[in-house]
Amino acid sequence: MRIALGSDHGGFHLKQAIKEYLDSRGIINHDFGTYDAGAVDYPDYARAVAEAVARGEYDRGILCCGTGIGVCIAANKVPGIRAALCHDTFSARAAREHNDANILTLGGRVVGPGLALEIVATWLDAEFSGGRHARRVAKISAIEDVYSCRKGQGGKEG
Ligand code: RB5
pLDDT single digits (tens) 10-39: 999 999 999 999 999 999 999 999 999 999
Output the CA 150–ligand 1 centroid distance in Å. 28
For residue 153, pLDDT over 70 is answered with no
Q: What is the share, in percent, of the chain residues with pLDDT greater than 70?
A: 94
Compute the Cα dihedral for 113, 117, 118, 122 and give only its sign.
positive
The reported pLDDT for the residue numbered 150 is: 61
- Domain limits for position 135: 130-158
User: The pTM is what?
Assistant: 0.94
Asked if 21 contacts 30 with a C-beta cutoff of 8 angstroms, the reply is: no
Asked if 4 contacts 33 with a C-beta cutoff of 8 angstroms, the reply is: no
pLDDT band at residue 156 under the 50/70/90 scheme: very low
Q: Which atom of ligand 1 is nearest to the CA of 73?
A: 10
For residue 158, pLDDT over 60 is answered with no
Q: Which atom of ligand 1 is nearest to the CA of 10?
A: 6
What's the domain count of the chain? 2
Please name which of 114, 72, 66 lies closest in space to residue 95, comparing C-alpha atoms.
72
Helix axis angle, 89-97 to 113-125, nearest 10° = 20
CATH number at residue 116: 3.40.1400.10
The pLDDT tens digits of the residues spanning 96-145 come to: 999 999 999 999 999 999 999 999 999 999 999 999 999 999 999 999 99
Are 106 and 134 contained in the same domain?
no
Ligand 1 site residues (CB inside 6 A) read: 8, 10, 42, 65-67, 69-70
Are 53 and 117 contained in the same domain?
yes
- Pick from 9, 42, 44, 87 the residue to mutate for probing ligand 1's pocket: most ligand atoms within 8 Å of its CB: 42
Output the CA 108–ligand 1 centroid distance in Å. 9
Write the residue with the smallest CA distance to atom 10 of ligand 1: 70
Are 156 and 123 contained in the same domain?
no
82 is in an annotated binding site: no
Are 43 and 105 contained in the same domain?
yes
